[in-house]
Amino acid sequence: MKPKKARTAREKLSLRQTIRREILAWFWVALIFLLVNGAVGQARVIPSGSMQDTLLIGDHLIMSRIGYDAGIPFTNLHVPLWRNPKRQQIVIFRPVIRGETSDVIKRVIGLPGETVDIRSGSIWINGARLAEKYTVGRTEPADPSQYRAGFENRANVFPYKVPENCYFVMGDNRENSLDSRYVGCIPRENIIGTPVLIYMSIDAPSGWDSGEIKERALAYLSALVHPSEIRWRRLFHIF
């Protein structure tokens, strides 16, 4: 029989090797997740009603960044890629309003170099009326008293020509959306992706409009206790 001390030493060595392998394996899993999360896709939650009825408060989205943007983990560095948004495509972009940190989701209406006009309750692109079946409320220019200060390229006069490398975006809920009518076009470098799938949708309270953590936690808990608060028909909707 082998000495007890020798067996104990080998067992300790084997245990340390097993732990190191586990740590290394989890390290690679975490690294791959961060790279995928930074360059391929991310999750987003809809906090406001500006995109109703296309997107509702409490919708949970998977956002694709493929071709649009690549982010470096643990930093605020982003690199715009080769894809550019198309008209009427829903996009997610970094905020242009100073002090705000949450990403924004809107629909692309005007492309770089195009002339956007708002009249007769409709959008006109280069003189042609844009057909829109997804809007809620009447489409009108923004109230000048509500313009955000500091945005010289805001669309406060129509017709409005969209600058190069910029996109005119609007919310589908036209009477309740802080969009390009107020803050001007969105630079291409701010656009980071497009939604591809609704993976969860909770009948959320209005408190989510302000992004309150407490209200969100209570909504998740309530959905667990009351499954009827989950909008089952919206799950796995693909854009």
Active site residues: 50, 106
Question: Rounded to whole angstroms, what are the CA distances from 180 to 5, 119, 144, 151, 206?
Answer: 75, 16, 13, 10, 24
Q: Are 203 and 58 in contact (CB under 8 A)?
A: yes
What token pair was written down for 151?
Answer: 């945005």
d(CA 176, CA 138): 10
Number of C-alpha atoms within 13 angstroms, CB side, residue 183? 16
The SS3 of residue 35 is helix
Buried b (16+ CB within 10 A) or exposed e, 62-86: bbbbeebbbbeeeeeebebeeebbe
Nearest to 64 by CA among 189, 239, 237: 239
Query: Cα(154)–Cα(172) distance, rounded to whole angstroms?
Result: 19
Distance CA 220, CA 204 (A): 9
Measured in residues, the chain has a length of 239
What separation, in Å, do the N-terminal and C-terminal C-alpha atoms of the chain show?
A: 68
Lookup result for tokens 């030493």: 9
